[in-house]
Amino acid sequence: MAMRILVVGAGAVGGYFGGRLAEAGRDVTFLVRPSRAKQLTQNGLRIISSHGDAVLTPKLISADKIDTPYDLVFLSVKAYSLETAMNDFAAAFGPETMIFPVLNGVRHIDLLAKRFGEDAVIGGVCFVAAEIDDQGRIVQLADFQQLVYGERNGEITPRLKTLDEALQGAGFDARLSPDIMQAMWEKWVQLASLGAITCLMRGTIGEIVATPGGAELSIDVVNESVAVATACSYMPSEKVLSSHTAAMTAPGSSLTSSMYRDLRKGAPVEADHILGDFIERGSVHGVATPLLKAAFVNLRVYQDRLPKH
Active-site annotation, residues? 187
Question: Sign of torsion, CA 263 265 270 272?
Answer: positive
Q: Rounded to an integer, what distance in angstroms lies between the CA atom of residue 37 and that of residue 110?
A: 30
Beta carbons within 10 angstroms of residue 264's beta carbon: 12
Q: Rounded to an integer, what distance in angstroms lies between the CA atom of residue 144 and that of residue 69?
A: 32
Candidates 152, 137, 289, 181; CA nearest to 227 is: 289
CB 275 within 8 A of CB 196: yes
Candidates 9, 46, 76, 258; CA nearest to 138 is: 46
Please report the DSSP string for 162-226 in residue order.
HHHHHHTTSSSEEEE-S-HHHHHHHHHHHHHHHHHHHHHHTS-HHHHHTSTTHHHHHHHHHHHHH
Phi, psi of 250 (to 5 degrees): -80, 120
Residue 195, CA atoms < 13 Å, CB-side half-sphere:
29
* Long-range contacts from 234-237, C-beta under 8 angstroms, 24+ separation: 234/181, 234/182, 234/185, 234/186, 236/185, 236/186, 236/189, 237/186
